[in-house]
Structure 1
C-alpha cells in the first residue's frame, strides 16, 4: 500500500491541468489513468480540428504553437505529451481505478494494472477528472451491438464505396458524414430532430448542406431509429416505417459521465441533470475531500464544459486544498 496526499483520477487535459495547478502550489499529486494521457483526444477522428484556438487549450502556462489558429488532433496530442514530459508530473498510465472507499479521514483507492496486478493507495484528497468519452449514449434498440455498428468514428478510408448510415445531429455526426462522403462512401444521415443542434460548428454546415442539396449525402430529419439489422437501419417518420440499406452504421449519439463511479464514492448526483453536487468555487463535492474537474462537472450536458473552461477547475481545487 502506498500513501499519497492527493490522487487525480484521469490524465486528460483537465486532469493534467489540475496536476499542474497543484504542482505550482508545492504539491506533488499522483495521476492515475486507465489508458494513456489525453485518451479522449486520441479517440478523435484523425482529421479532427478543434473548435477552439490553441491558446484556449493551453494548460499550466505552457505555450501551444500550432500551424493554424485552430489546431488539429495530432497537434494537441503532441502538445499534451510535451507538457506532461516537461512538467515532470507523476503519471501512472494503463492503471484503472476500480473503487474508492472512505477510510476515516482518508480514502482507500483500489486499482488494477494492465497486467492484472491489484494495487492499493491511501490518499487524503481525491480529484475525479474522468471525463465522459468512454461512455457512449446507447439507443437501447435491437441490433445496436452488432459488429458493424460503431459509437466512435476514427477514419473514413475503410468505408470507400460502402453504404454508411450516420445517426445523430451534432458535431460528431456531421464531421463523420463529411469525412465519409469525401472518402467515397454512400452516406445517409438520420436525425430525430427537425434541424441540427445550434452547438454544431458553424463553419462545417455550409459544406454539409451543399452536399445534401447536390444529393451526395441523404439527410433525413425526424427519423426515430427502431432497430438495426445486418443489412438495414429501420426508422419511423411521421407514423410510417422506412428502411435504409447500410453496410456500416455510426451511432454518433453522444456520451455521458459514469454516474455509478461517483455515487459509489458517496458523491450525490442530481437525478435530472446528472450533475454531481459540488461547490462551484472549490469544485469539492458533497463528499468532503473529493473534488471534480472537467466535463464530469457538467453532468449530462457535455456541451457546457470543454477544455477551455474545464482547465480552470484545477486552479480552484489547488487553492481550496492549500487553504486546507
Structure 2
C-alpha cells in the first residue's frame, strides 16, 4: 500500500463544510487534503432532483463567494454548480471516490487509512454529514425491491400506488411531486399532523391536498408489514391493508456513529449520541481531531445546517494555527 506524504490537515468529507475547511486551511498556508468516498458534495448529489433549499442562496455561500440563484431559494442543480465551481476555481486538493476506513491516533500523529492509501496527518477533521445511513423501521418486508429509503424523481412513480412514510420535508416533497405526476399517494405518519419544520411555503400545500382527498393520509399510524402487493399499517382504527406498488421510507438519516466510536470519539450516553467536542474549537476528546458540520448534532440532525455550521471551518483553523501553548487548557 502506497504511503502518501504527511499533511498538516486531512479533511474527511467533501461536502460544503469540508470544502469550507479546505478554503480556510489554504488561507492559513496549511498543507491539506480532502478525502471523499463519493463524488464532489456527494450527499447533495443524491438529494431529490427537484429539491429546493430551505435557506436562501446567501446563507449557503462559502468564504463570501457570491451564490447567484435564479430564485430566492436555490435548487439542487444550482448548488451543485456553485460548490463545484468553488472547488475547481480554487484548485481544492481533493481525492474523490476514496473511502476512509479508519483513523489511528498516536503521539500527536493520525494515520488515516482509506480504500486506496494511507495518509499521515497532524490534524484530522471529520465532516461526513449524515445522509448515507437511513433510519430503518425494522419491519418485515423492508428489504423488498419495491422499498427505498431515498427518493429521486417523481416520474418513476407515475400512475403507481406509492406509500410515503414520514412527514418531514423530504416526505412531503415526495408526496406532492408524485401526486402531481399522476401517482396515487398515501402518507403514513407516526405523529398526529404534518411536521412543524416542513418548509413554510410547502406545509399549507400538503395540508390542503390531504384535506381535499387528493393525497390519502393516515396519522398516528405506522407500518406493520410490507408485502409484494400490499402494505399492512396500524392505525387508531385498527389494522388496515392497502394495495401498493412502491414504498418510500423517508424517515430520516443518521451519522455514522460506529465510525466515530471506532476512531475513539466519545458519544453522549443519553440517547442523543452527541459527539464530544469543544464548542470554542470543535476539537474532540482526541487531540488534533475535530468535527465540523451536521455530524456535531448526533441524532438531532435538524440542529446544524450549511448556514450555521460554516463557521466551524474558521474556528478549527484558528485553533490549528494557534501556538501549541495556547491549545493546552
TM-score clears 0.5 = yes
Aligned position for 1:292? 291
Aligned position for 1:53? 56
TM-score, L = length of structure 1: 0.96
How far apart in 2 are the matches of 1:220 and 1:274? Answer: 31
Q: Deviations over 1:278-299 (max 9, x none)?
A: 0011000011111000000010
How far apart in 2 are the matches of 1:198 and 1:160? Answer: 28
SS at match of 1:126: strand
SS at match of 2:178: helix
2:265/2:275 contact within 8 Å kept: yes
How far apart in 2 are the matches of 1:176 and 1:163? Answer: 13
1:239 positional shift: 6.6
How far apart in 2 are the matches of 1:230 and 1:220? Answer: 21
Aligned position for 1:145? 143
Aligned position for 1:228? 226
1:199/1:303 contact within 8 Å kept: no
How far apart in 2 are the matches of 1:303 and 1:148? Answer: 28
- Aligned equivalent of 1:132, options 121, 130, 140: 130
Q: Deviations over 1:178-231 (max 9, x none)?
A: 010011000000001001221111110121122112211001101121111111
1:238 positional shift: 2.5
- Aligned equivalent of 1:39, options 30, 42, 63: 42
Compute the RMSD of aligned alpha carbons. 1.0
Aligned residues, how many?
A: 319
Aligned position for 2:327? none
1:104 positional shift: 2.3
Runs of 4+ in 1 over 3 A off after TM superposition: none
1:165/1:250 contact within 8 Å kept: yes
Aligned position for 1:17? 20
SS at match of 2:259: helix
1:79 positional shift: 0.1
1:209 maps to 2:212: no
How far apart in 1 are the matches of 2:96 and 2:157? Answer: 32
How far apart in 1 are the matches of 2:57 and 2:237? Answer: 46
- Aligned equivalent of 2:257, options 256, 259, 283: 259
How far apart in 2 are the matches of 1:147 and 1:103? Answer: 44
Q: Deviations over 1:57-82 (max 9, x none)?
A: 00122110011111011000000000
How far apart in 1 are the matches of 2:177 and 2:194? Answer: 18
Superposition pairs of residues 148-163 of structure 1, within 5 angstroms: 148-163=146-161
1:181/1:187 contact within 8 Å kept: yes
Q: Deviations over 1:240-293 (max 9, x none)?
A: 211111100000000000011011111001122111000011000011111000
Q: Any unmatched runs of 5+ in structure 1? A: 113-117
How far apart in 1 are the matches of 2:280 and 2:25? Answer: 16
How far apart in 2 are the matches of 1:102 and 1:273? Answer: 25
Aligned position for 2:194? 196
1:276 maps to 2:275: yes
How far apart in 1 are the matches of 2:123 and 2:303? Answer: 26
SS at match of 2:133: coil
More displaced 10-residue stretch of structure 1: 232-241 or 13-22: 232-241
Aligned position for 2:91? 88
